[in-house]
Chains A and B, each alone.
Chain A
Amino acid sequence: MVHFKRALQDIRSHRFLNALTVLTIATAILLFGAFSLFFINISDLMNAWKQGIRVMVYLQPDLPESKRTQLQQRIASMNAVGEVRFISAEQALQRLREQMKRQRSLLDDLKTNPLPDAFEIRTSDAARSAKAIEALASDLETLESVTEVEYGQKWLGRFSGIFQLFRATGYGLGGLFFVAAVFIVANTTRLVLYSRQEEIGIMRLVGATDGFIRAPFYFQGLIQGAVGGLLGLSALWVLYIFAATQVRHGFTVGAIDVRFLPLSAVVAILGCSMLVGWLGSFLCLRQFLKEA
Chain B
Amino acid sequence: MPTTPQTSATILVIDDSPDIHRLMGARLRSEGWTILGASSGEEGIECAIAAPPNLIILDIDMPELDGFETLRRLKINPATLPVPVIVVSANTAPQDKVMGLELGAVDYVAKPFDFSELRARIRAALRTQRLLDMLAKRAHIDGLTGLWNRAHFDARFHELAAGAQRAGQPLSLAMCDLDRFKSINDTFGHPAGDVILQRFAEILSSIVRESDVACRFGGEEFVVILPGAIPEQAAEVMERVRAELREQRWTRHPERAVTASFGVAPVDERGAEAALAAADAALYVAKSSGRNRVVISGERAALRQAG
Q: A and B, one complex?
A: no
